[in-house]
Amino acid sequence: MTTQTGELTYRRVHHAPPELVFDCMTTPEHLAHFWGPAGTTTPVADITVDLRPGGVFETTMVSDADGSTHTMRAVYVEIRRPELLVWVEADVEGGMRTTVTFVDLHDGRTEVITHQTNVPAAYLSAQARAGFATSLDRFDAYLAGLDR
């Protein structure tokens, strides 16, 4: 049985320059502060970033409510600091591909466009999309609190 897949695109403007936004999304010590939807934590010890094509990107989110875990395993396909990150999650049926584009707005802000293809039906639900949005909210709050 084949599960229907689709595409998702998220856009968010962050009040930080592209280099900082990129570094926050590729450094475990930063990722631990915002990776995952509200109600989860991602311990820095459970984040692997081997930032090179063919390198591993892995995170394990822990539910604050019951301690259950969800691990995301991906392989980087393309990296261009600070403009582009591309990874593929081979464990997800169809190999979900995430492309993150960082657009310098030339005023200290960065538009981040996250485009996903081969997205499993479960990730297309309103609840899953809302969870992803809370992760973006957490990222905004984290960036706002950084001493620049």
CB 129 within 8 A of CB 21: no
pLDDT at 45 over 60: yes
pLDDT band at 4; cut points 50, 70, 90: low
Interatomic CA distance for residues 57 and 80, integer angstroms? 15
Confidence of residue 1 (pLDDT cuts 50, 70, 90): very low
In angstroms, rounded to a whole number, what is the distance separating the alpha carbons of residues 133 and 116? 14
Structure confidence by residue, pLDDT tens digits, 12-37: 999 999 999 999 999 999 999 999 99
Q: What is the value of pTM for the model shown?
A: 0.92
Interval 62-96: pLDDT, tens: 999 999 999 999 999 999 999 999 999 988 777 99
Please tell me the distance from the alpha carbon of residue 33 to that of residue 49, in angstroms, as a whole number: 15
Q: What is the pLDDT of residue 91?
A: 83
Q: Please, what is the average pLDDT of the chain?
A: 94
For residue 76, what are the CA distances in angstroms to 34, 44, 62, 113?
Answer: 20, 19, 23, 17
* Whole-number pLDDT of residue 83: 98
Q: Residue 7 in contact with residue 115, Cβ under 8 Å?
A: yes
Of the pLDDT bands very low, low, confident and very high (cuts 50, 70, 90), residue 2 is very low
Tell me the pLDDT band of 147, cut-offs 50, 70 and 90.
confident
5-145: which CATH topology?
Alpha-D-Glucose-1,6-Bisphosphate; Chain A, domain 4 (3.30.530)
